[in-house]
Protein backbone atom coordinates (compact mmCIF):
# COMPACT_ATOMS: atom_id res chain seq x y z
CA UNK A 1 0.00 0.00 0.00
CA UNK A 2 2.86 2.39 0.83
CA UNK A 3 4.45 1.72 -2.58
CA UNK A 4 1.17 2.54 -4.31
CA UNK A 5 0.85 5.83 -2.40
CA UNK A 6 4.45 6.76 -3.25
CA UNK A 7 3.90 5.94 -6.92
CA UNK A 8 0.72 8.01 -6.93
CA UNK A 9 2.48 11.05 -5.41
CA UNK A 10 5.41 10.80 -7.83
CA UNK A 11 3.04 10.38 -10.77
CA UNK A 12 0.94 13.37 -9.76
CA UNK A 13 3.94 15.67 -9.32
CA UNK A 14 5.62 14.63 -12.55
CA UNK A 15 2.54 15.25 -14.72
CA UNK A 16 1.73 18.65 -16.08
CA UNK A 17 4.23 19.31 -18.81
CA UNK A 18 7.16 21.70 -18.77
CA UNK A 19 8.96 23.05 -15.75
CA UNK A 20 7.78 26.38 -14.45
CA UNK A 21 10.35 29.20 -14.46
CA UNK A 22 11.23 31.25 -11.39
CA UNK A 23 9.48 34.30 -12.83
CA UNK A 24 6.32 32.31 -13.49
CA UNK A 25 6.43 30.91 -9.95
CA UNK A 26 6.66 34.46 -8.62
CA UNK A 27 3.43 35.32 -10.45
CA UNK A 28 1.55 32.12 -9.66
CA UNK A 29 -0.91 31.23 -6.95
CA UNK A 30 -1.16 34.75 -5.58
CA UNK A 31 -4.04 37.17 -5.63
CA UNK A 32 -2.85 40.31 -7.37
CA UNK A 33 -5.27 43.08 -6.35
CA UNK A 34 -5.63 46.03 -8.71
CA UNK A 35 -4.56 49.31 -7.10
CA UNK A 36 -6.91 51.87 -8.67
CA UNK A 37 -5.42 54.80 -6.74
CA UNK A 38 -1.83 54.13 -7.81
CA UNK A 39 -2.87 53.39 -11.38
CA UNK A 40 -4.82 56.67 -11.62
CA UNK A 41 -1.83 58.57 -10.19
CA UNK A 42 0.42 57.05 -12.87
CA UNK A 43 -2.12 57.91 -15.56
CA UNK A 44 -2.11 61.52 -14.32
CA UNK A 45 1.68 61.66 -14.53
CA UNK A 46 1.54 60.31 -18.08
CA UNK A 47 -1.04 62.95 -19.06
CA UNK A 48 1.16 65.69 -17.59
CA UNK A 49 4.21 64.40 -19.42
CA UNK A 50 2.55 63.85 -22.79
CA UNK A 51 0.49 67.07 -22.90
CA UNK A 52 2.74 69.43 -21.00
CA UNK A 53 -0.23 70.68 -18.99
CA UNK A 54 0.86 71.09 -15.38
CA UNK A 55 -2.44 70.25 -13.69
CA UNK A 56 -3.69 67.59 -16.10
CA UNK A 57 -3.28 64.95 -13.39
CA UNK A 58 -6.16 66.61 -11.50
CA UNK A 59 -8.45 64.96 -14.06
CA UNK A 60 -7.52 61.54 -12.67
CA UNK A 61 -7.68 62.66 -9.03
CA UNK A 62 -11.21 61.60 -8.07
CA UNK A 63 -12.86 62.60 -4.81
CA UNK A 64 -15.86 61.63 -2.69
CA UNK A 65 -18.58 59.41 -4.10
CA UNK A 66 -17.13 59.58 -7.60
CA UNK A 67 -13.89 58.11 -6.23
CA UNK A 68 -15.78 55.32 -4.43
CA UNK A 69 -17.75 54.44 -7.55
CA UNK A 70 -14.63 54.55 -9.73
CA UNK A 71 -12.71 52.31 -7.34
CA UNK A 72 -15.63 49.87 -7.18
CA UNK A 73 -15.91 49.65 -10.97
CA UNK A 74 -12.16 49.28 -11.51
CA UNK A 75 -11.52 46.85 -8.65
CA UNK A 76 -10.50 43.32 -9.62
CA UNK A 77 -8.01 40.61 -8.77
CA UNK A 78 -5.76 38.73 -11.16
CA UNK A 79 -4.45 35.23 -10.55
CA UNK A 80 -2.00 33.13 -12.56
CA UNK A 81 -2.16 29.39 -11.91
CA UNK A 82 -1.75 25.96 -13.45
CA UNK A 83 -4.99 24.52 -14.81
CA UNK A 84 -6.16 20.97 -14.18
CA UNK A 85 -4.74 20.07 -17.59
CA UNK A 86 -1.31 21.40 -16.57
CA UNK A 87 -1.45 24.54 -18.74
CA UNK A 88 -0.75 28.02 -17.40
CA UNK A 89 -3.97 29.97 -16.96
CA UNK A 90 -5.27 33.28 -15.60
CA UNK A 91 -8.41 34.37 -13.78
CA UNK A 92 -9.78 37.88 -13.26
CA UNK A 93 -12.39 38.31 -10.53
CA UNK A 94 -14.56 41.40 -10.18
CA UNK A 95 -16.77 42.02 -7.17
CA UNK A 96 -17.14 39.97 -4.01
CA UNK A 97 -19.23 37.06 -2.84
CA UNK A 98 -22.45 36.24 -4.67
CA UNK A 99 -22.11 39.34 -6.85
CA UNK A 100 -18.65 38.42 -8.13
CA UNK A 101 -17.90 37.50 -11.72
CA UNK A 102 -14.93 35.55 -13.01
CA UNK A 103 -13.30 35.49 -16.41
CA UNK A 104 -10.69 32.86 -17.22
CA UNK A 105 -8.28 32.08 -19.99
CA UNK A 106 -4.86 30.70 -20.76
CA UNK A 107 -1.54 32.40 -20.15
CA UNK A 108 1.67 32.29 -22.18
CA UNK A 109 4.92 34.17 -22.42
CA UNK A 110 5.40 36.19 -25.61
CA UNK A 111 9.20 36.05 -25.40
CA UNK A 112 11.85 33.69 -24.02
CA UNK A 113 13.11 36.33 -21.58
CA UNK A 114 9.61 36.40 -20.03
CA UNK A 115 9.30 40.17 -20.23
CA UNK A 116 5.92 40.12 -21.97
CA UNK A 117 2.95 37.95 -21.13
CA UNK A 118 -0.13 37.20 -23.19
CA UNK A 119 -3.46 36.62 -21.49
CA UNK A 120 -5.52 34.77 -24.06
CA UNK A 121 -9.12 36.00 -24.26
CA UNK A 122 -8.52 38.75 -21.67
CA UNK A 123 -10.31 41.48 -23.60
CA UNK A 124 -13.43 39.43 -24.24
CA UNK A 125 -14.72 37.87 -27.43
CA UNK A 126 -11.44 35.99 -27.88
CA UNK A 127 -9.22 39.07 -27.95
CA UNK A 128 -5.87 38.58 -26.27
CA UNK A 129 -4.03 41.15 -24.17
CA UNK A 130 -0.26 41.55 -24.13
CA UNK A 131 1.37 43.10 -21.09
CA UNK A 132 4.99 44.02 -20.55
CA UNK A 133 6.14 43.40 -16.99
CA UNK A 134 7.71 46.60 -15.68
CA UNK A 135 8.00 45.48 -12.03
CA UNK A 136 7.61 42.09 -10.38
CA UNK A 137 8.43 41.70 -6.69
CA UNK A 138 6.91 39.52 -3.99
CA UNK A 139 4.42 42.29 -3.19
CA UNK A 140 3.99 44.34 -6.37
CA UNK A 141 3.24 43.76 -10.04
CA UNK A 142 3.27 46.59 -12.58
CA UNK A 143 2.10 45.81 -16.10
CA UNK A 144 2.23 48.00 -19.21
CA UNK A 145 -0.44 47.39 -21.83
CA UNK A 146 -0.01 47.78 -25.60
CA UNK A 147 -0.31 51.59 -25.44
CA UNK A 148 2.02 51.95 -22.44
CA UNK A 149 -0.62 52.54 -19.77
CA UNK A 150 0.26 51.06 -16.38
CA UNK A 151 -1.81 48.60 -14.37
CA UNK A 152 -0.55 48.37 -10.79
CA UNK A 153 -1.32 45.36 -8.60
CA UNK A 154 -0.43 44.56 -5.00
CA UNK A 155 -0.22 41.05 -3.59
CA UNK A 156 -2.89 39.99 -1.16
Q: What is the pLDDT of residues 96-109, one digit of tens each?
A: 778 888 999 999 99
DSSP E strands in 50-87: the ranges are 77-82
Helices (H), 52-102: 64-74
Determine the pLDDT at residue 1: 42
Label residue 80 by pLDDT band (50, 70, 90).
Answer: very high
Identify whether the C-beta of residue 80 lies closer than 8 Å to the C-beta of residue 107.
yes
Computed over every residue of the chain, the mean pLDDT equals: 79
Contacts of 116 (CB under 8 A, 6+ apart): 109, 110, 130, 131, 132, 133
Determine the pLDDT at residue 2: 40
> Is the pLDDT assigned to residue 20 strictly greater than 70?
yes
pTM: 0.73
Helix axes 64-74, 36-51, angle to 10 degrees: 100
Q: String of b and e for 49-83 (b: at least 16 CB within 10 Å)?
A: eeeeeeebbeebebeeeeeeeeeeeeebbbbbebe
75 vs 140 pLDDT, higher one: 140
Residue 135 dihedral angles phi and psi, to the nearest 5°: -140, 135
Q: What is the pLDDT of residues 24-77, one digit of tens each?
A: 999 998 999 999 888 877 876 766 566 666 665 555 566 676 666 665 666 889
**Residues across the chain:** 156
The CATH-assigned architecture of domain 22-155 is Beta Barrel (2.40)
Contacts of 88-94 with C-beta under 8 Å, sequence gap 24+, read 88/20, 88/24, 90/119, 90/122, 92/122
Domain-by-domain residue ranges, the chain? 22-155
What's CA 59's distance to the chain center, in Å?
Answer: 25
Amino acid sequence: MACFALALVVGMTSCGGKKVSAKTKKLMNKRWVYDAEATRAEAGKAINKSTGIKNASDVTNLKGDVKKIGNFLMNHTLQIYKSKKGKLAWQRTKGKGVLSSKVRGFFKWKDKEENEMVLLGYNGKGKDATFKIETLTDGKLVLLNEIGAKKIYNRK
